[in-house]
């Protein structure tokens, strides 16, 4: 009995994936559990295993195709089997539109019903619907609820989303910046998405179609030209995220130099016991304690609200081929130093192997980024939204510092110093609060007995 | 795999364990010549004799207590109660002695005791012989509770129960006894660990947690709902204590909707406990308040039609799933 292979949903937000490579040729045999294809989402590149054994009878969607989740991409079965019934499902998508109407603008979708709510009126919404709305950045205040008690539920958010015109992130930003209402604009992009070319403004359109044409006109220098490469999903996500951060947050930073001598001694003690604890783990632990002391650093901005989190989830930036990802250590305030060490080892391994799942990199409330291993003295990091602060950690270096000895005389001693730089969102965090946070962090790192 | 009645699968598992371990023995009313009034110890007397198949008078407090004593001294008793309603006759033994002995003696005494029997409606056995009482024992620390929904699960769980050094209450269901022949694995080492739920049907729209007879009813309800395009995931926890809350929560994270179904009264039943634990853990994934389906707060009637009116029926499960989905 032939089995369908469909575009799998990897994580709550995934709506489509791009096939990067088929690892088995059409007609080849596959074993259940054997790697079958590679795909890319806006979050990650991942190898998917076959869910059935047999012969790969048909590859329906070739490399490079971007396919909505659950759509048929291949068929596995026995040689000679009739799979026309299975393929029938995919036929309309493959056959109909291709030739007839190239880039015919899609119809703008019908407007969704709008809820009439008095200002300040309480909105009833299920926890799941709220979570999904927040993840998708949807303002639910105008959405009509169809739950039993009139609450907004998941399907209302999804229906609202479906009723909104599909739009590229850049076009959305341009439209927002220029105050353009997207309703009524027909999209000419892939799947009818509105691109900047569809907007009644001209300037940013050049940004959407970058260097390529210009490069062609530039005479080659000694046979050397330029090369244009499409951004990977991860690069696009990083790019959007970083730009969004710079555009919305009032970012500034404070710096402080911290004596890590005692923290080094603590790490050695763990090492002697055979427990692997990194400096980063110690810093994450210290941050978790300091975040507990100062909830505003652990908070996020949501419109005109400040959202405080009871939990402390600390992300650690990990560089991976083609970009970086920030796996999150959940409940960093309660799992203790050895718990943090174990979790971070696991997450870093998963990150490097490309095995992080959606839940591994969502829900952070604060990020630590360490680049000491590249010999940086210090640096400034960009806040990872919706978080409100990020700590940039430089290298630990033996440094001469002035200390006061037991006789009250100043002398120069050699200490292992580390420079910390806290980037914070000045909209909700005042300068004095950020300074206090660094002061507390310093106290924890210089007196690591407080971390135990 | 062999095909056999639920009760035959129980009797065969007991026999296999008795052959393997001479400390395993059976005690209860009518477990000898008759082979248990439902036949769950049929053939055991012939093979093992009166020394190991011990027939008792109508004296539940006495022989449950005797089972506890035997367990303390190194035996592995299987005590059959003719109806699990009769646990109440032996309640002091179960609640104050069986559940607590290992604890109050600082772990020095092991209690490898299985108390098993059937419960539930379906026999026209009226108010005192038809109850589903498993929820009551969930409130007593020190007891493990198994609630199999198929003969294969019963075999795997019963073997685990017999080999467990802690007391296990093992609830079988009358209607499963009458459910015809079941596929049963023949491996005499086939075991199912406690605290490991089984997803009996995969689905994406609503999670239905059910046990015992109601797993089958939930599957039938799921079949009906599938016709209306509603995809139901049926999760069978198989043991209520320990409880595999992780599997249930993962399912609810996916579906966003939870319905619990049991024959015991909805009020104060284990469904409420599971719903509470799920909301503790994954509230933000929920799209609607969970719904309990259970018996009405009413003694079970003798009249079979009235009995049906009290305990949940398939349309009740279907309706609950639709209501939780706001459909």
Helix (H) or strand (E) holding B103: helix B101-104
What is the bridge-based pairing of β-strands B2-5 and B181-184?
antiparallel
ipTM: 0.81
Confidence band (pLDDT; 50, 70, 90) for A163? confident
* Minimum CA–CA partner of B284 in chain A: A127
Q: Number of Cβ pairs closer than 8 Å across A and B?
A: 31
Query: With contacts defined as CB-CB under 8 Å, which chain B residues touch A147?
Result: 287-288, 326
Higher per-residue pLDDT: A14 or B64? B64
pLDDT, residue A106, reads 47
- Binary contact (A128, B284; C-beta < 8 A): yes
CA distances from B77 to A33, A146, B68 (A): 44, 56, 8
The CA distance from A369 to A381, in Å, is 7
pLDDT, residue A387, reads 94
pLDDT, residue A94, reads 42
> What sign does the dihedral B11-B14-B20-B24 (CA atoms) show?
negative
Contacts of A183 (CB under 8 A, 6+ apart): A108, A111, A165
From the candidate CATH numbers 3.40.50.970, 3.30.420.40, 3.40.50.920, 3.55.50.30, the one assigned to the domain spanning B2-184:
3.40.50.970
Confidence band (pLDDT; 50, 70, 90) for A220? low
- Does residue B193 register a pLDDT over 70? yes
Higher per-residue pLDDT: A206 or A162? A162
Gyration radius of chain A's alpha carbons: 26
Least confident of A285-289, A348-352, B318-322: A348-352
> Going by CATH, does the domain composed of B198-324 fall within 3.40.50.300?
no
Confidence band (pLDDT; 50, 70, 90) for A110? low
Name the most confidently modeled range: A38-42, A244-248, A389-393. Answer: A389-393
Chain A interface residues (partner B, CB cutoff 8 A): 126-131, 146-148, 151, 153-154
pLDDT, residue A282, reads 95
- Nearest to B169, CA basis, from B230, B65, B239: B239
- Does residue A97 register a pLDDT over 70? no
The answer to whether the CB of B230 falls within 8 A of the CB of B182 is: no
Percent of chain A with pLDDT over 90: 40
Residue B110: count other Cβ atoms within 10 Å of its Cβ. 17
Q: Considering chain B, tell me which residue range(s) the CATH 3.40.50.970 domain(s) occupy.
A: 2-184
Is B257 known to be catalytic?
no
The CA distance from B146 to B99, in Å, is 15
Whether a cis peptide bond, with omega within 30° of 0, leads into A386 is yes
pLDDT, residue A137, reads 84
- Does residue A103 register a pLDDT over 50? no
- Does residue A211 register a pLDDT over 90? no
The CA distance from A186 to A105, in Å, is 6
Is B60 known to be catalytic?
yes
Average pLDDT, chain A: 84
Q: Considering chain B, tell me which residue range(s) the CATH 3.40.50.920 domain(s) occupy.
A: 198-324
- Does residue A33 register a pLDDT over 80? yes
Token pair, residue B244, equals 């595999």
Q: What pTM did the predictor assign?
A: 0.55
Q: Which domains are seen in chain A, by residue range?
A: 3-97 (2.40.50.100), 250-451 (3.30.559.10)
Confidence band (pLDDT; 50, 70, 90) for A203? very low
Q: Which residue has the tokens 């009551």?
A: B136
Whether B323 contacts chain A with CB within 8 A: yes
The CA distance from A58 to A15, in Å, is 23
For B58: left if phi > 0, alpha if psi spans -120 to 50, otherwise beta; the answer is: beta
Whether B108 contacts chain A with CB within 8 A: no
For A69: left if phi > 0, alpha if psi spans -120 to 50, otherwise beta; the answer is: beta
Name the most confidently modeled range: A148-157, A317-326, B82-91, B123-132. Answer: B82-91
The CA distance from B241 to B196, in Å, is 10
The answer to whether the CB of A51 falls within 8 A of the CB of A5 is: yes
How close B313 comes to chain A (CA, Å)? 23
pLDDT, residue B81, reads 97
Interface test with B, best of A154, A307, A358 (most B CBs within 10 A): A154
The CA distance from A184 to A200, in Å, is 12
Query: With contacts defined as CB-CB under 8 Å, which chain B residues touch A128?
Result: 256, 284-287
pLDDT, residue A323, reads 82
The CA distance from A113 to B87, in Å, is 58
- Does residue A96 register a pLDDT over 60? no
Active-site residue, from B16, B17, B29, B60: B60
Cα A11 → chain centroid: 12
- Does residue A312 register a pLDDT over 70? yes
Average pLDDT, chain B: 96
Q: Give the burial string for B233-270 (b: 16+ CB within 10 Å, else e).
A: bbbbbbbbbebbbebbbbbbbbbbbbbbbbbbbbeebb
- Does residue A222 register a pLDDT over 80? no
pLDDT tens for B144-188 read 999 999 999 999 999 999 999 999 999 999 999 998 999 999 999
Least confident of A52-66, A291-305, B52-66: A52-66
């Amino acid at each position: 009995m032939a089995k369908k292979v469909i575009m799998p949903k990897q994580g709550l937000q995934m709506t489509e994936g791009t096939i990067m490579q088929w690892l088995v040729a059409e007609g080849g045999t596959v074993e259940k559990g054997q790697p079958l294809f590679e795909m890319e989402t806006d979050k990650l590149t991942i190898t998917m295993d076959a869910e059935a054994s047999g012969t790969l009878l048909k590859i329906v969607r070739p490399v490079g195709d971007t396919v909505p989740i659950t759509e048929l991409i291949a068929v596995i079965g026995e040689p000679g089997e009739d799979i026309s019934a299975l393929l029938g499902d995919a036929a309309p998508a493959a056959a109909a539109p291709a030739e007839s109407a190239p880039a015919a603008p899609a119809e703008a979708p019908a407007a969704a019903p709008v809820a009439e709510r008095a200002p300040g009126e309480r909105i009833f919404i299920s926890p799941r619907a709220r979570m999904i709305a927040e993840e998708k950045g949807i303002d639910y205040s105008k959405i009509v609820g169809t739950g039993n008690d009139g609450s907004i539920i998941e399907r209302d958010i999804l229906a609202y989303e479906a009723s909104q015109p599909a739009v590229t992130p850049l076009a959305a930003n341009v439209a927002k910046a220029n105050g353009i209402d997207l309703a009524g604009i027909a999209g000419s992009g892939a799947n009818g998405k509105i691109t900047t070319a569809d907007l009644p403004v001209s300037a940013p359109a050049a940004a959407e179609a970058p260097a390529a044409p210009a490069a062609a006109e530039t005479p080659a220098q000694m046979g050397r030209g330029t090369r244009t490469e499409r951004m990977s999903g991860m690069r696009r996500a990083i790019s959007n995220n970083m730009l969004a951060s710079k555009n919305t947050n009032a970012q500034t930073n404070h710096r402080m130099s911290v004596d890590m001598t005692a923290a080094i001694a603590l790490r050695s003690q763990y090492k002697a016991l055979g427990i692997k604890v990194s400096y980063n783990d110690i810093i994450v632990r210290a941050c978790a304690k300091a975040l507990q002391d100062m909830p505003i650093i652990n908070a996020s901005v949501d419109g005109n609200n400040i959202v405080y989190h009871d939990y402390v989830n600390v992300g650690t930036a990990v560089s991976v081929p083609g970009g970086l990802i920030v796996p999150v250590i959940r409940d960093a305030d309660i799992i203790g130093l050895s718990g943090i060490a174990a979790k971070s080892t696991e997450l870093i391994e998963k990150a490097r192997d490309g095995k992080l799942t959606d839940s591994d990199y969502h829900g952070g409330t604060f990020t630590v980024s360490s680049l000491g291993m590249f010999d940086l003295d210090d640096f400034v990091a960009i806040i990872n939204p919706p978080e409100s602060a990020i700590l940039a950690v430089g290298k630990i270096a033996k440094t001469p510092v002035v200390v006061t000895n037991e006789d009250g005389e100043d002398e120069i001693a050699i200490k292992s110093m580390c420079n910390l730089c806290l980037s914070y969102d000045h909209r909700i965090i005042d300068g004095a609060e950020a300074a206090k946070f660094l002061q507390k962090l310093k106290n924890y790192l210089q007196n690591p007995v407080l971390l135990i | 795999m062999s095909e056999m009645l639920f009760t035959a699968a129980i009797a065969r598992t007991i026999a296999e364990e008795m052959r393997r371990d001479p400390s395993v023995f059976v005690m209860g009313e009518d477990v000898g010549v008759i082979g248990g009034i439902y036949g769950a110890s049929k053939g055991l007397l012939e093979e093992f004799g009166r020394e190991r198949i011990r027939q008792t008078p109508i004296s539940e407090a006495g022989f449950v207590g005797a089972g506890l004593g035997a367990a303390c001294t190194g035996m592995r008793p299987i005590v059959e109660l003719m109806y699990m309603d009769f646990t109440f006759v032996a309640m002091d033994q179960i609640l104050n002695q069986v559940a607590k002995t290992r604890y109050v003696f600082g772990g020095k005494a092991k209690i490898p005791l299985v108390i098993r029997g059937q419960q539930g409606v379906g026999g026209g056995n009226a108010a005192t012989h038809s109850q589903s009482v498993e929820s009551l024992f969930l409130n007593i620390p020190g007891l493990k509770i198994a609630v199999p929904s198929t003969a294969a699960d019963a075999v795997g769980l019963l073997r685990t129960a017999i080999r467990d050094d802690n007391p296990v209450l093992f609830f079988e269901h009358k209607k499963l006894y009458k459910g015809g022949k079941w596929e049963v694995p023949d491996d005499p080492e086939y075991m199912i660990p406690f605290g490991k739920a089984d997803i009996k049907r995969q689905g994406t729209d609503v999670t239905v947690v059910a046990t015992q007879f109601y797993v089958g009813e939930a599957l039938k309800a799921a079949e009906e709902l599938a016709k209306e395009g509603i995809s139901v995931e049926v999760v069978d926890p198989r043991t209520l204590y320990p409880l595999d809350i992780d599997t249930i929560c993962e399912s609810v994270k996916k579906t966003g909707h939870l319905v619990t179904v049991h024959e015991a009264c909805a009020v104060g039943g284990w469904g409420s406990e599971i719903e509470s634990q799920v909301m503790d853990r994954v509230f933000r994934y929920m799209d609607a308040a969970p719904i309990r389906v259970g018996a009405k707060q009413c003694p079970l009637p003798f009249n079979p039609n009235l009995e049906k009116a009290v305990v949940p029926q398939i349309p009740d499960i279907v309706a609950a799933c639709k209501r939780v989905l706001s459909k």
